[in-house]
Structures are given as structure tokens and as C-alpha cells.
């Protein structure tokens, strides 16, 4: 799709999906519209952005007699968000969860095509695959929003987003691979399966799930995450970083305190991750994400 720079900053809207794990304050600060995915626990399907009582939600996930599932937004869900923005004459930069692990990006593409076919301006929707989720996706949204505010136009915003998608790194510590295996999202990390040890795997998401290493205990695994932060901080590159969790705030704070020390700055988006990812990876998850600050822009 055309990514020309004809639009004024006030005429460019940024859209993402709920797996970016943005709080209401984040959305307002960044000026971002969000399309929600769906959770399916037992017979109960809910929009992710309507879930508030997280401990109760995860109790339901654990106690459900059938595996909990997730569902991408429909084409109609995207049109509900895109339509009013296009009616206002806006260009849209729409940044989403990795297309390799979800049909969300494809729903967005189909919505853009439908709106274009109907003469409603779908050609003004510019899609970016973040190749990531959660904090790493939020980095991409942040870079896009900053580029718009800096007056870089649609082309500049897309280029910033794509630069973050290429250069962000993330490490994900999970309690168990059971959830990823049941959900069929294991990717290359199936190399960890079948181990006689009750390992605490560290994986990464680069389009899909890949193994990094396996650690025997949670204490050692958290220390390994700290070591990774120390190693990256020693590279002499200024990084923007995030630490996030799923029902493990104490672990996140332990990692965040270490990151503040070694990176020498404050992290961003340090909240509980998307329930979509919670269903896929399970409670107890801890993540570390980094991206070169030069690709993100001035705002945090």
C-alpha cells in the first residue's frame, strides 16, 4: 500500500491490537486505537479488553475442563475501528501481533482491502507486522506514535516501526511449555520437550517461538534473565527496555530493579501482559525486552 508522506501529523492515526498490553493511560498518552482479540474459557468468549479481574480469570483458565483458547479479531472488528478514522480523512498506520503466530494481521489486511473495494479509503491503511507481541509490540507502537508526533509522516512512521520490528530482542521465561504445546504455538521450542528435567525454559519470539536455553530452577532462570540484561547493557548501545509478567509481579520487580541499575534508565510498559498471551504461555511468565533507543524516538 502507498506510504506517502502527504498527511499532517494530526491526520495520521495509529492502531494496534490488545496483545500490545497497553494500559488505558498508555493508549491515551500515545494516542492509539486498539482492536481487541478474544479469550475463550470453557463456553465463555470475552473481548480481552473487557477482562478486569485477572486472578479470577486465570483461576478459570486453570480450572477449565477443556483447554482455553484465543481468537483473532474479525474483519468487522477492524472495520469498526478503521471506518470512523477514514471518515475523518485520516491515514492509518496499523501495527500488529506477529503474523506468524496469529491471524490478526490477516484480518487487518482483509479489512483494509474491503474498505478500499467499497471506496471508503482502505488504501490509506498502512500495515506493519511487528514480528512480536506484548512489550516488543508496544515498542513498535511507541516508535510509530513518536514518529507521527515528530512530523515524520506516514513513510517515516512505517520505517520507524519496521526498524523496531527488525532490531527488538526479547527473552521469555515460562514456568512450563505445557500451555504453548497445547495451543500449538511451540514453534522451534519443541526441542525442549521430552526432557526428563522439570526445566524452566527461556524462549524468544521472533515471528514465532524459538528456544534460547533451559534452566533447572526458577531462581536460576530469573538470575539468567538478569545476566542477559547485564550482557546487553555492556554493549555500549543505549537501549529502551521493558520487563513484564503474567501473575508474577514480584519476579518482574526483581528483574526491573536490576535493569534500572545496568541500563541506567527507567523501563517502559512495565505491566501485566495480555491475557491472550497468558492463555498461550501460562501464569508465572516473565519477559525482558530491549530495542535500540535510536529507533524509538524521543518520547517514552
Q: Which of 138-142, 146-150, 175-179, 225-229 is least confident? A: 175-179
pLDDT for the residue numbered 67: 86
Residue 123 sits in the same domain as residue 251? no
Asked whether the predicted pLDDT for residue 169 surpasses 80, the reply is yes
Q: What is the DSSP string of 145-201?
A: HHHHHTT-HHHHHHHHHHHHHHH-EEEEE-S-SHHHHHTT--GGGGGGTT-SS--EE
pLDDT at 182: 59
Task: Output 174 or 114, whichever has higher pLDDT.
Answer: 114
Query: What are the angstrom distances between the C-alpha of 126 and each of 27, 86, 114, 132, 179?
Result: 19, 12, 14, 18, 33
Note whether residue 46 is domain-resident: no
Query: 176: pLDDT confidence band, cut at 50, 70 and 90?
Result: confident
Position 158 scores a pLDDT of 98
Domains held by the chain: number: 2
Specify whether 124 is located in the same domain as 238.
no
Average pLDDT over every residue of 248-269: 97
SS3 284: coil
Co-location of 219 and 280 in the same domain:
yes
In a domain, 151, yes or no: yes
Report residue 125: phi and psi, to 5°.
Answer: -100, 125
pLDDT, one tens digit per residue, over 214-249 is 888 899 999 999 999 999 999 999 999 999 999 999
In this structure, what C-alpha cell is assigned to residue 213? 536455553
In-domain check, residue 59: no
Q: Which domain holds residue 88?
A: 9-36+73-166
Instruction: Report pTM.
Output: 0.90
Q: Assess if residue 62 is contained within a domain.
A: no
Same domain, 103 and 177: no
Are 20 and 126 part of one and the same domain?
yes
- Does 125 reside within a domain? yes
Q: Of 166, 200, 227, which marks where a domain is finished?
A: 166
CATH number for the domain that contains residue 86: 3.40.50.10440
User: Do 224 and 181 belong together in one domain?
Assistant: yes
Indicate which CATH number applies to the domain containing 232: 3.30.1180.10
pLDDT tens for residues 186-215? 554 454 554 434 678 888 887 677 778 888
Task: Indicate whether 184 pLDDT > 80.
Answer: no
Share of the chain above pLDDT 70, in %: 90
Last residue of a domain, one of 134, 166, 198: 166
Q: For 34-78, how does the pLDDT look when each residue is reduced to its tens digit (9 = 90+)?
A: 999 999 999 999 999 999 999 999 999 888 888 899 999 999 999
161 shares a domain with 98 = yes
Same domain, 243 and 265: yes
The pLDDT value recorded for residue 23 is 94
Residue 184 and residue 281 in one domain: yes
Q: Are residues 180 and 202 in the same domain?
A: yes
Last residue of a domain, one of 143, 166, 189: 166
pLDDT(298) > 50: yes
Amino acid 269: pLDDT: 96
110 lies in the same domain as 185: no
Q: Give the pLDDT of residue 198.
A: 64
Q: Quick check: is 58 in a domain?
A: no
More confident residue, 20 or 280: 20
Contact 243, 273 (CB under 8 A): no
Instruction: Name the average pLDDT for the chain.
Output: 90
CA distance 259 to 149: 28
Q: Do 190 and 148 belong to one domain?
A: no
Amino acid at each position: 500500500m502507498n506510504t506517502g508522506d502527504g498527511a499532517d501529523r494530526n491526520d495520521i492515526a495509529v492502531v494496534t491490537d490488545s496483545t500490545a498490553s497497553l494500559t488505558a493511560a498508555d493508549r491515551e498518552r500515545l494516542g492509539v486505537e486498539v482492536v481487541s482479540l478474544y479469550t475463550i474459557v470453557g463456553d465463555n468468549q470475552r473481548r480481552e479488553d473487557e477482562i478486569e479481574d485477572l486472578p479470577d480469570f486465570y483461576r478459570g483458565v486453570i480450572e477449565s475442563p477443556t483447554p482455553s483458547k484465543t481468537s483473532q479479531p474479525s474483519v468487522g472488528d477492524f472495520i469498526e475501528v478503521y471506518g470512523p478514522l477514514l471518515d475523518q480523512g485520516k491515514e492509518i498506520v496499523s501495527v500488529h501481533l506477529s503474523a506468524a503466530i496469529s491471524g490478526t494481521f490477516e484480518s487487518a489486511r482483509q479489512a483494509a482491502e474491503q474498505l478500499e473495494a467499497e471506496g471508503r479509503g482502505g488504501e490509506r491503511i498502512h500495515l506493519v507486522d511487528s514480528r512480536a507481541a506484548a512489550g516488543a509490540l508496544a515498542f513498535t507502537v511507541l516508535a510509530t506514535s513518536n514518529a507521527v508526533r515528530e512530523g515524520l509522516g506516514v513513510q517515516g512512521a512505517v520505517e520507524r516501526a519496521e526498524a523496531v520490528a527488525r532490531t527488538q530482542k526479547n527473552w521469555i521465561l515460562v514456568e512450563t511449555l505445557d500451555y504453548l504445546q497445547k495451543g500449538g504455538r511451540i514453534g522451534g521450542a519443541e526441542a525442549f520437550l521430552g526432557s526428563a528435567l522439570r526445566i524452566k525454559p527461556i524462549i524468544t519470539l521472533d515471528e514465532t517461538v524459538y528456544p534460547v536455553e533451559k534452566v533447572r530452577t526458577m531462581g536460576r532462570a530469573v538470575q539468567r534473565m538478569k545476566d542477559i540484561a547485564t550482557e546487553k547493557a555492556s554493549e555500549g548501545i543505549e537501549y529502551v527496555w521493558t520487563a513484564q509478567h503474567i501473575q508474577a509481579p514480584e519476579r518482574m520487580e526483581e528483574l526491573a530493579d536490576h535493569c534500572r541499575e545496568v541500563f541506567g534508565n527507567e523501563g517502559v510498559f512495565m505491566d501485566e501482559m495480555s491475557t491472550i498471551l497468558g492463555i498461550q504461555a501460562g501464569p508465572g511468565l516473565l519477559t525482558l525486552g530491549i530495542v535500540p533507543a535510536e529507533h524509538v524516538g524521543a518520547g517514552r
